[in-house]
Each structure stands twice: as C-alpha cells, then as structure tokens.
Amino acid sequence: TTSYIRYTKSMRNNINRIHNLEKAFVFYMNTMYDWNLNWTGEGMSNWDAEGSTSKGNKCVVEMKFRKTYYETKMIEVFKYDKLMSLDKDIVKLYFVSDPKGSYMFYLNELNDLSKESLSCPKNTMWNGAKTNKDVYLLSEDKAIMKQQFNTKLF
C-alpha cells in the first residue's frame, strides 16, 4: 500500500504540473496577445482551453507538454477528429512544448495528414503500459508559431 500511495501522490503531482503549465499558457495568451481563453483542462473536455482570439474568433486549444524532444509533433487521431468535428468557423489550435521549443499548429489549414499507428503510452501518466494509437505526425515547419530555445547555452 505504501508504494501505491507514493505512486498515486506522484501521479497527482504530475497532473498538477501539467495543469499549471496549461494555465500558464492561457495566462500568457490572454496577457500578451489579448486573447480571451478559459482553461478547461480539469473536466472531461477534449481540449485544454477555449474562448476567443484577439480578433474575437471562437477558438479551442489542445496542449501537450513533453519532456522529450521529437522532430515531429504527434497528435492522436482521436483528439484531432474531436477538434475537427467542431463548427468549421472555430479556430482549432494544437500547442506543443518540449525541451527545444514551443510550437503552435493551426489545425484548420493542415491537410494531407497521413495516419500512422505507433506504440505509445496508454495514457499521459505513463505507467509502462503501451498500446497502439493512430496518430498524425506534424512537421515543425507547419507550425504557425515557433519559439525555439538555444539548448547549447545550458
């Protein structure tokens, strides 16, 4: 039971860390770019923020914070399909941050995506269990916003 409690506490800490990063992103976009986003990450929503852009366009944002850098950014087909099933006028964004930078993708205009099946952790709080997931791999050059870090400095 002690190891289960330790595991549960660690998992809760990881979830809290991710929630704090999502909230920080919402705060940043609202403060720096005059967006009006609300964090939705704690409920059963299929995205992490929703609201409007500075131009008043309705939008939703799915976010991923990865501790490992990958040249392509992965979005699950399930998540992508949920976002794309929304009204066509809603701006659909996918934000990924990893050790080398942050990238935002405007999903409304991405097409010609090819589906791949990859062995992935079963859920965000990886416990070693893997499953095959259908995913799209997004090239960094398709990002509408890139903030790359100079990792050679540190």
75-96 in b/e burial notation, b at 16+ Cβ within 10 A?
bbeebbebbeebeeeebbbbbb
| Beta carbons of 137 and 105 less than 8 angstroms apart | no
- Check pLDDT > 90 for residue 118: no
In whole angstroms, how far apart are CA 38 and each of 7, 45, 49, 53, 135? 30, 12, 5, 11, 27
CA separation for the pair 76, 64 (Å, rounded): 11
Q: What is the model's pLDDT at position 150?
A: 76
Mean pLDDT rounded to a whole number for the chain: 89
* Centroid of chain to Cα 132: 19
Read off the pLDDT of each residue in 45-58 and give the average, rounded to a whole number. Answer: 96
In whole angstroms, how far apart are CA 60 and each of 1, 15, 29? 40, 20, 12
Half-sphere exposure of residue 62, counting CA atoms within 13 Å on the CB side?
21
Indicate the pLDDT class of residue 11, thresholds 50, 70 and 90.
confident
Q: What is the model's pLDDT at position 97?
A: 96
- Check pLDDT > 60 for residue 82: yes
Indicate the pLDDT class of residue 127, thresholds 50, 70 and 90.
low
Q: What is the model's pLDDT at position 41?
A: 81
Q: What is the model's pLDDT at position 121?
A: 72
Runs of H (alpha helix) within the chain: 2-33, 77-84
